[in-house]
Chain A
Amino acid sequence: MTPTAGPWFGAPAPGEELPPQEFVLTAEDLRRYADASGDHNPIHLDDRVAREFGLKDGIIAHGMLVMGRLAAYVSAAAGAEAPASLAVRFRAPVRPGVAMVLTGRVVSVEGAQVVVEAAVAPRAGGAPAVTATWVGQWRVAAAAT
C-alpha cells in the first residue's frame, strides 16, 4: 500500500504502511543525549576514541536515542502516549550525519491493539540498522471523511 502523507486518521488495517520519516542525527544531538542520559561513553562523543575502538567512521549514536526515535515515530502515528511494549534489535550502528529513514507496517489489528513492525535504515539503501515490533493502542480518531 502506498504510504500516506501527513497525519494518519482512522483505524489501520494489516499491511498498511506508515508514512516514512527521515532524520539525521548530529554530533550535537549525541552530546545533548549524553548529558541528559549520563551516558558519556566516548564512542558517542569523540571521533578519535571511537576510531581507536575500531569504529573507522568515528562516533556512533546511542542505541537508546535511535530506539527512542523509532518508538516515538510509531507512537505519534498511533496517537499513543507510549507503546504497551516494544521489542528492538540493534543490527548496525547509526552514525551522525547519515540520513536515515523510519518506516513502519501494520502487521495485525485486534480491536484497538495494533502491532507494527518498524525499522530504521539508511536513506541511501542497505540493511536496517534497527528493527522493532511496536505493540500498543491505536488512539487516532476515525477519519472524518
Chain B
Amino acid sequence: MTASGGGFRWDPARLREPSPAVVRAVLPDEVRAFRAVVDPAAAARGVADSAPTTFPARLQTLDVPGLCLPSAGVVHAAQEVAYPAGRLLAVGERVSVVGWLESVRRRGRLAIVVVVNQMWAWREDSAAGGAGRQDEAPLLVECRSTVMVTLPEEVHA
C-alpha cells in the first residue's frame, strides 16, 4: 500500500518485490541489539514511490501513510520480530528486503492492518528479482506488524 494523491493505493504485489539494500549504520548500543538500518538509496529499485526508510519501520512510514500521525487515530500497534539466523547484521552488509500486506480488515473507519517485512542475506542472484530467489538465502529477520487505526475521513469516504 502506498500513498497516492493523499489517499491510499493498495499495491501488495509491488511490495513483494525484493529491494536490495545495504546496512548503512547502527546507532550505539541502545539499538544495536535490535535492529540494523538499511539504506534505501542503495537499492537498485525501491519497493515504493517514496523511499522506504527502515526495517521494520517501513510499516509506519510507507505502508500505511499517516499511520504515525495522531490524526489517523492509531489505537494500537504491535510487532513480532523473529531472528531465524540468530545473528546481528553488520554495517556494510548487503541485504535484501521484502514486505507485503498480509491482511487488511476494515469496518467503517476502523482498519486492522497486518504487514510482514523480511530481511534476507544478500545473494548475487537477489538482484535478478523475484522473491522466490530469496529462498536460497538465509532469512535474517522477519517482522509482523499489526496496527489498528482509525482512517482519516477522506480515506473512509
A contacts, CB < 8 Å to B: 23, 32-33, 36-39, 41, 43, 53-55, 62-65, 67-72, 75-76, 80-91
Q: For residue B104, which residues in chain A have a CB less than 8 angstroms away from its CB? A: none
The reply to whether B78 and A88 contact each other, CB–CB distance below 8 Å, is yes
B78 engages A54 (CB within 8 Å): no
Among the stretches B30-38, B108-116, B118-126, B128-136, the one at the interface with A is: B30-38
* B57 adjacent to A62 (CB under 8 Å): yes
- CB closest chain-A residue, reference B27: A36
The 8 Å CB contact of B33, one of A32, A63, A82, A90, is: A82
Interface status of B157 (Cβ within 8 A of chain A): no
Contact: B57 with A55, CB < 8 Å?
Answer: no
Give the residue of B31, B34, B51 whose beta carbon is less than 8 angstroms from that of A86. Answer: B34
Complex Cα distance A23/B25, Å? 22
Produce 1/0 per residue, B18-59, CB < 8 A to A.
000000111101111111010110000000000111101100
What is the total number of residues of chain B having a CB less than 8 Å from a CB of chain A?
37
**A76 / chain B contacts, CB cutoff of 8 Å:** 29, 33
Cβ of B88: which chain A residues have Cβ within 8 Å of it? Answer: 81-82
Q: Are A67 and B70 in contact (CB under 8 A)?
A: no
Asked whether, in the complex, the Cβ of A81 is within 8 Å of the Cβ of B87, the reply is yes
Q: Which residues of A contact B70 (CB under 8 A)?
A: 43, 53-55
Nearest 5 interchain pairs by C-beta: A68-B31, A54-B70, A68-B34, A71-B34, A38-B53
CB within 8 Å of A: which residues of B? 24-27, 29-35, 37, 39-40, 51-54, 56-57, 60-61, 68-71, 76-83, 86-88
Query: Can you list 28 A-B pairs with a CB-CB distance of less than 8 A?
Result: A33-B27, A33-B31, A36-B26, A38-B53, A39-B53, A39-B54, A41-B61, A62-B57, A63-B60, A64-B34, A65-B31, A67-B34, A67-B35, A68-B30, A68-B31, A68-B34, A72-B29, A72-B30, A81-B88, A82-B33, A82-B87, A82-B88, A83-B33, A83-B83, A85-B82, A87-B78, A88-B78, A89-B76
| A85 B69 Cβ-Cβ under 8 A | no
Given the interface contacts A38-B51, A72-B33, A75-B33, does A43 sit within 8 Å of B80 by beta carbon? Answer: no
Q: How far is the CB of A61 from chain B (nearest CB, A)?
A: 11
Q: Are B80 and A86 in contact (CB under 8 A)?
A: yes
Instruction: State the CA gap A72–B28 with chains docked (Å).
Output: 10
